[in-house]
Amino acid sequence: MLKNRGITPTLVLAVCMTCLGSSFLIGYNLAVLNLPAYYVKSFLSETILHMDLDTAEQTTKLIKPSFLYAQLSTVFVVAGAIGAGVCGSLAESFGRRNALLFNHLFAIAGAAISGPSTITRQPALIFVGRFFSGINSGITIGTASLYLTEIAPRDVRGAIGACHQLAVTLGIVVAYLATMGMTLNTEKLWPIAVSLSAVPAIVSLIVLPICPESPRLLFIEKGRELEARESFVRFNNKESVDDFIDELREEIQAAKSKPKFTFIQLFKRRDLRMPVLISCLIQVLQQLSGINAVISYSSTMFKTAGLSGQYNEYCVLAIGVFNFLVTSISVVLLEKKGRRTLLLWPTLVVAVSLALLTITVNLVTHLKEGVIAQAMGVLSAVLLFCYVSGFALGLGPVPALIVAEIFRQGPRAAAYSLSQTVQWLSNLLVICSYPSINVISYSSTMFKTAGLSDQYNEYCVLAIGVFNFLVTSISVVLLEKKGRRTLLLWPTLVVAVSLALLTITVNLVTHLKEGVIAQAMGVLSAVLLFCYVSGFALGLGPVPALIVAEIFRQGPRAAAYSLSQTVQWLSNLLVICSYPSINDAIGGYSFLPFLVVVVSLWIFFFLFIPETQNRTFDHIARDLSSGSIIIGRRTSDSQPPSIPLFSKTKEVNFCLH
């Protein structure tokens, strides 16, 4: 089966080591401080504020333990934005594989510095360690996606590209498992959980050098045809190496008519305007949908939703596992349904989940007690899972894949760098704004807001992580079956609906406060949170990186990746910094800003983003160079016009290559 797909042992080894030593660590470092939050706050309070946690939280001073705790996430995301900004240059200077090997040093340094923080009573160590871990994560997102996309056979490019997001969700699950109960979730042992991140990096540092460099980079950038041929054969035993080299020669000839690519050309060249806009906005959509609030603050979310502490830890783990499982599904769907499909429709799941969560969490907040309040708390938890499923299917795996596919070789690395910088800045916005809407980071807070008691909160947070992983697993499959566009659009609708409904349920919980209705709204809010996660995991999670990798030719690809990731991290920063203030100011309506972003950008991608599945980078770049609306327009490698989005006919016109 694998042999028929052109998958070789070397390809499997390269994918496993890249995902283990790089992608896995992003999720692990993002979630590892979620469940031990109490002990981390206590440590920061005693060493910086010189008072116990309870006294520090009640003080009238501006700086409180919760603020210091939020700064750990802020430092991580700011460093991620810096790493994303340089990932394109590193990928071009050192090569894709060697940049990953160099990046492992940051992961090891971050783990080693963080470990002794409680023993030495030096809080600066954990902040410095988180900074190095953030640098590692920022470089990883762009570089790992570039490497995976360029070494993958075309017919499984989506599935392999989505393995990056799948590994991220697995890292989240492992972080939750490591810090559950009394494992490493104690006053003295929580830094050990942080230090364990060095192990995967060391393993990959030893094994990854066995694998060759990207054949595309070797031929186009380095001019080493013999090495490129050898590399291609080791990665792909199905496609003709001569056809591959001929394809690269055509791309080189097309690039010769243009001057040597530089980063600034991302903004000057007319043919790159639409790919650059897509690569940045897709990262903004991914991060401002709020997923990292769930990962970092899911425990608080479950408490807000009315889940008691006894179950809170398990809900947090369930979110992580669920995210992983849905992301696994997206690995399959990316090739079967296409990038566009998995971007659009799971995003609708995210939107619906956010809308319903707003309702259920507000009902829990207002009812406070009683059967209805409890029901709303449970419903809020369910909605949180719906949100995660929508994200894991689309917004999780699709963006990186799309960014990789819409650029030719020249601008690809630069575009990736820009895209990832935007992603990390968006992430920082979420993390800084929701320590009291980044779902993964703050799902515990969200469950609390939805009226779920502390008893259930921890379990729900865990459930969110597991659910995110499961749905992301599904998206790995769907990316090749349904296409990038499909998985970007429809799961994003799930995200939007989840956000809208979450606004209603959470507000009902808040206003009802007690009674059966308040309980029901709390439960509904939890359900909606899972719906949100499912929509994200199917589309917004895996698709963006894949699309960014596919819409650029070889020249601008690294720069485009860098730009895209810069936008992503800026969006992340925006969410992280603004959520606590938003949550304090508008409470159960805090999902609405995410909903507005999701719906607005969904409309943009519906109109302008093409399907990139099974198409050459050159054909994709040609289609995007005009910047016109995609619906009803012919693609460069197909004769009939693009099939309407709601047609039941298969998207064969996008998949001729």
Confidence at residue 435, expressed as pLDDT on a 0 to 100 scale: 44
Calculate mean pLDDT across residues 532-551.
80
Q: What percent of the chain has pLDDT over 90?
A: 17
Q: Are the C-beta atoms of 171 and 591 separated by less than 8 Å?
A: no
> Of all helices (H) and strands (E), which one includes residue 403?
strand 400-411
Other beta carbons less than 10 A from residue 631's beta carbon: 14
pLDDT band, residue 646 (cuts 50/70/90): very low
Q: Is residue 144 part of a domain?
A: yes
Of 562 and 650, the one with more pLDDT: 562
Q: Are the C-beta atoms of 342 and 481 separated by less than 8 Å?
A: no
Q: Is residue 610 part of a domain?
A: no
Beta bridge partners of 391: 536
93-102, 156-165, 445-454, 544-553, range with the lowest pLDDT: 445-454
194-198, 375-379, 454-458, range with the lowest pLDDT: 454-458
pTM: 0.74
CATH of the domain at 79: 1.20.1250.20
* Rounded CA separation 607/386 (Å): 25
Calculate mean pLDDT across residues 646-650.
36
Of 540 and 456, the one with more pLDDT: 540
Q: Is residue 377 part of a domain?
A: no
Of 297 and 635, the one with more pLDDT: 297
500: pLDDT strictly greater than 60: yes
* Helical spans, DSSP H, in 562-649: 562-586, 592-608, 617-625
Of 9 and 337, the one with more pLDDT: 9
Domain that holds residue 124: 9-191
Q: Is residue 150 part of a domain?
A: yes
Question: In the structure encoding, which two tokens stand for residue 632, read together?
Answer: 């009803």
Highest mean pLDDT among 213-222, 279-288, 301-310, 457-466: 213-222
* Rounded CA separation 296/445 (Å): 9
Calculate mean pLDDT across residues 460-470.
75
5: pLDDT strictly greater than 60: no
Say if residue 225 is exposed, middle or buried (CB neighbours under 10 Å; 0-12, 13-18, 19+). Answer: middle
Confidence at residue 651, expressed as pLDDT on a 0 to 100 scale: 35
Confidence at residue 650, expressed as pLDDT on a 0 to 100 scale: 37
Calculate mean pLDDT across residues 182-197.
88
- What is the per-residue pLDDT across 266-322, written as a single tens digit (0 to 9) for each? 788 888 888 888 888 887 888 778 777 776 667 766 776 666 666 777 787 888 888
Highest mean pLDDT among 104-113, 268-277, 429-438, 453-462: 104-113
pLDDT band, residue 542 (cuts 50/70/90): confident
654: pLDDT strictly greater than 70: no
- What is the per-residue pLDDT across 400-411, written as a single tens digit (0 to 9) for each? 777 777 777 677
Confidence at residue 266, expressed as pLDDT on a 0 to 100 scale: 77
Confidence at residue 196, expressed as pLDDT on a 0 to 100 scale: 95
Calculate mean pLDDT across residues 245-250.
86
* Rounded CA separation 224/232 (Å): 12
Average pLDDT of the chain, as a whole number: 78
What's the structural domain count of the chain? 1
Highest mean pLDDT among 126-140, 156-170, 364-378, 485-499: 126-140
DSSP secondary structure code for residue 438 in this structure: -
Q: Is residue 275 part of a domain?
A: no
Calculate mean pLDDT across residues 365-369.
68
Q: Is residue 24 part of a domain?
A: yes
Q: Is residue 313 part of a domain?
A: no
260: pLDDT strictly greater than 70: no
Q: Which of 546, 538, 508, 547 is nearest to 525 (CA)?
A: 508
- What is the per-residue pLDDT across 582-615, written as a single tens digit (0 to 9) for each? 766 776 677 788 888 888 888 888 888 888 777 7
pLDDT band, residue 437 (cuts 50/70/90): very low
* Rounded CA separation 465/447 (Å): 13
- What is the per-residue pLDDT across 68-92, written as a single tens digit (0 to 9) for each? 887 888 888 889 888 888 888 898 8
> How big is the chain, counted in residues?
657
Q: Is residue 585 part of a domain?
A: no
Q: Which amino acid is at 305?
A: A
